[in-house]
Chain A
Amino acid sequence: MLLGVGALALLTPAAAQSPAREVRGGQTFQFALANGMQVLVIPDHRAPVATHMLWFKVGAVDDPAGISGMAHFFEHMMFRGTKKVPGEGFTQAIARNGGESNAFTFYDYTAYYEQIAKDRLPLAMQMEADRIANLDLSDANVATEREIVMEERRMRTENDPQSLMGEQMNAALHLSHPYGRPVVGWMEELRHIDRASASDFYRRHYAPNNAILVVAGDVTAEDVRVMAQKEYGGLPARPLAQRAENAHPPRLTESRLRITRDDAKVPVFSRTYRVPSYATAQPGRAEALETMAQALGGDQTSLLYRVLVEQRKLATEVGASYDGYRRDMGEFSLYAVPRPGVTLENLERALDEVLATAARTAPTGPDLDRAKTQLIAAVTFRRDSQYQMASAYGQALTIGLTVDDVNAWPQRIRAVSANAVRSAAAGLNRAESVTGFLLPGGGK
């Protein structure tokens, strides 16, 4: 896992292939520390602040068998203190120094971030380095945090019928692959978390050689190189738990769920397909899925919206989206809310007719141009936000993509042909899908 040859690998401007087009910001610099920590720097000198994100290549896919929710629970425990910065000291110190801090967990990664004045970056780095190595996991903390995570699950999932349906659909779609387990964990399995399992998880996954540091903001690559070497360079690399290579078992037929609940007040149609991700797709295929999602259901000018909402007046809301930033398979999702009086069966039939049209007929020139314009403009809008820039690169790197992949994405979207979009629609296979009907139960 060790990347560095000497103390530090070379500083290389990752956007070197098109410097002339990147002069107004957008340049990134990448290097690695000798202990294996990868570092990416995204300078943005508009305000004297920086966003520090530390990404770990560990997520809900790495939850131990029988303890779904462990990776997310562990993210919470990282805020429970070390010997040197006990209790709530981490968050308090960041706040006292004018910063914001938080973290998030998804299937393939966990990330911790601080947004803070640039001269306080060393503080953020010291405390992050400290908690990578010296976390204090006491029984009392584990028990209290377990209650907090259960409350989080009640709030996000159990109180929300659409979340509950999404969780069931996910479990059905991915079969035995861990993408089928909820990131927050099943309530019954959260109960199994204890100090020993948390401690084991920490030892197996938290080490500098499993981390990617992204710093966006009012810094230079040299600033960050010096700081990172000083604060993180002393952490020893450690052998990591081998990540499981989970198979996506074959699906022989589609799955269908009808969920009737009293707390569902409006019927909802939802369908998710298992499709290739940016990490697994043949060249161009993920970009075609992305463009197809935008043209089919990305906004109020999309094909689904025009036909189902405006022309046939069968739906009030409709959308399509592609989640391609995963190490294993991605997801392509469709969503629609019927107008009052329209059944989900009729809505689904009409939606499938639109899909069939999209599979037969390539998008028109203006429709394709509009979809691409929006996808590509989003990259410029993203540059307005340190948080979004750091997130975009951090997410890509943790799933195995490169900085060049991220930088070249707009060119690859430009290259998507109308026929590639049609072919992406034609490639949606019902056997690879789960369809959910959420139905209001009883009277209103």
Chain B
Amino acid sequence: MQRLLAILLLALTALPATAAEVRNIDLGKQAQVWFVEDHTVPIVSFSVSLPGGSAHDPRTKPGLAAITAAMMDEGAGNLNSAAFHQALAAKAIQFSARAERDFTVISVSSLAADAGEAMRLLQLALTRPRFDNEPLARVRASIIQSLEQDAAEPGQVAARAFMRDFFNGHPYGHASNGDVASVNAVTQADLRAFAKGHWVKNGLKIAVAGDITQAAVTRLLGQTFAPLPGTAVAPPRDVGRLGRPGVHIVPMNVPQPAAVFGLPGIMRSDPDFIPGYVANYILGGGGFSSRLMDEVRTKRGLTYGVSTSLNPYAKASVMIGQVGTRANAINQTLQVVRQTMTDFAAQGPTQAELDDAKTYLTGSFPLAFASNTGIAAQLGTFQRQGLDVGYVVRRNSLIQAVTIEDVRRAARRLFDPARLTVIVAGSPGGGAKPVDKPAAPPAKPPQP
């Protein structure tokens, strides 16, 4: 066991940034396409980001981008909703679309032999959507039911209230899936207008990985996206004041109240973003290794999970944290969170914490490149953050270059407990599924 300790102390020095070679594909000036060719498994994965998300919802129609995305596979051209679903299912094409704040993100995976059919159906969905009344009524009813269910879940309630309070009326503050009144009010004409204005080539980003040649994918994507209009999408307006410092309670009678807390983050284009990401990893982003997890869970048994994340949007950045605990422990839990944050902002990390953060963040990067779906998703995240294709190679050296002074500076900038906005859903002081069954791979937050 001597050898064990030797290995424990060993830090990662130089791993390959990725196993994959990422290539640019030229699809004209308006669109960005990145491609990784790998013929090991006969599937192809696509991540397609359209330049309009829930921040582009009209003021009176929150949720429009999300409903339009949910209607994407509900009929197009001469295929009605049922026929479109059957066309996807007949070839086992996996197709999903969701609205993020700045983008609508479409994920498509198919067997390699059916990539052409997958893109044919995607083109049809994007260029000739039907938005028929029957599926619209169904999708609307389903979204409203999920909104109603969310209203009883403290984590969801706290997260919605946090975003609303934090963004003070900016479109980043409304929930992507809107609210019951707005979802009820959305019309077919709204969907058409949103798709026409935002499902466009200007600002389109595509990542492809898998069993297809460069020549074939270039031809296929060219055909698929050629008919999209080149209209420019206006960015969301600038944000104003961020945050509403203090603890705000949304009373609910639940066994385990949830708290969501946050602070202004650091923009993706800011030179301190990477130091900020490292600082967040050490405080609350590092899963079981983070300071918050150690203090709140491991030492005190106050929670099953506590975490923080740094979320850069196009026009704002926000650090968001969450924790759940029994009703009579919420005040103590928030106190521990606040104290841990205060200490970290004052003193910054230890050298060992910084070293560990670097070896994790650089060493784990290749894990994101171990599958076609993983590669497409990771590249799509980089594209939406406005990075260039060379970032994939550069990224680990940027993290290696972070100094302890960089992280101290970023931690002071990020973690000021006096400005903390805290929402608690629950009543402080009062009142078969398998456990971790491996149905799906563990959710991994995108790497910066």
List residues of chain A with CB under 8 Å of any chain B CB: 24-25, 44-49, 72, 79, 84-85, 88-89, 91-93, 95-107, 111, 115-117, 120, 122-123, 126-127, 130, 143-152, 154-156, 158-161, 163, 166-167, 169-170, 182-184, 217, 262-266, 299-301, 306, 309-310, 313, 316-317, 331, 337, 339-340, 366, 369-370, 373-374, 376-378, 380-381, 383-388, 391, 395, 444
Contact = CB atoms under 8 A, between A and B. Distances in A.
Contacts of A127: 4
A236 to B, nearest CB: 16
A102 B301 contact: no
A151 B41 contact: no
Given A126-B7, A316-B141, A384-B371, A373 B91 contact: yes
A46 B432 contact: no
B125 to A, nearest CB: 14
B29 interface: no
Interface in B255-303: 255-256, 286-289, 294, 297-303
Interface string B115-147: 000000000000000000010001001101100
Q: Which of B20, B141, B148 lies at the interface centre, i.e. has the most chain A CB atoms within 10 A of its CB?
A: B141
A184 B435 CA distance: 6
A239 B18 CA distance: 45
Contacts of A116: 363, 367
A262 B10 CA distance: 54
A49 B370 contact: yes
B7 A145 contact: no
Contacts of A79: 288
Contact of B303 (A148, A306, A385): A148
B146 to A, nearest CB: 8
Interface stretch (B55-63, B402-410, B438-446): B438-446
Nearest to A124: B7
Contacts of A24: 39-42
B435 A152 contact: yes
A152 B41 contact: no
5 contacts: A44-B370, A88-B298, A117-B363, A300-B85, A377-B92
Nearest to B327: A154
A184 B434 CA distance: 8
Contact of B41 (A25, A120, A143, A145): A25
B82 A84 contact: no
Nearest to B437: A106
A100 B442 contact: yes
Interface string B38-52: 111111010000000
Interface in B102-123: 109, 111
Contacts of B418: none
A146 B297 CA distance: 11
Contacts of B149: 265-266
Contacts of B91: 373
Smallest CB-CB A-B distances: 6 pairs? A98-B363, A147-B301, A377-B92, A104-B436, A154-B256, A158-B255
A146 B301 contact: yes
Given A88-B294, A151-B302, A25 B85 contact: no
B103 to A, nearest CB: 24
Given A96-B360, A111-B438, A147-B301, A380 B5 contact: no
Given A151-B302, A159-B256, A265-B148, A166 B433 contact: yes
A385 B373 contact: yes
Contact of B297 (A148, A156, A388): A148
Contacts of B356: 92, 95-96
Given A72-B435, A370-B90, A380-B111, A46 B151 contact: no
A104 B373 contact: no
B324 A147 contact: no
Nearest to B19: A47
Contacts of B38: 46
Q: Which of B40, B94, B255 lies at the interface centre, i.e. has the most chain A CB atoms within 10 A of its CB?
A: B255
A24 B39 CA distance: 8
B440 to A, nearest CB: 8
A84 B256 contact: no
Nearest to B85: A300
Contacts of A366: 90
B256 A45 contact: no
A377 B111 contact: yes
B45 to A, nearest CB: 8
B366 A117 contact: yes
A48 B366 contact: yes
Nearest to A385: B371
Contact of A100 (B3, B153, B444): B444
A22 B184 CA distance: 51
Contacts of A299: 85, 89
A175 B434 CA distance: 18
Contacts of A96: 8, 11-12, 355-356, 359-360
A144 B301 contact: yes
A154 B255 contact: yes
A217 B366 CA distance: 12
Given A116-B367, A299-B85, 19 more contacts: A88-B298, A92-B356, A93-B8, A95-B360, A104-B436, A107-B434, A144-B299, A145-B301, A149-B304, A151-B256, A158-B255, A159-B254, A163-B433, A183-B432, A300-B85, A310-B81, A373-B91, A380-B43, A385-B370
Contacts of A310: 81-82, 134, 138
A240 to B, nearest CB: 23
B189 interface: no
Nearest to B305: A155
B75 to A, nearest CB: 12
Contacts of B305: 155
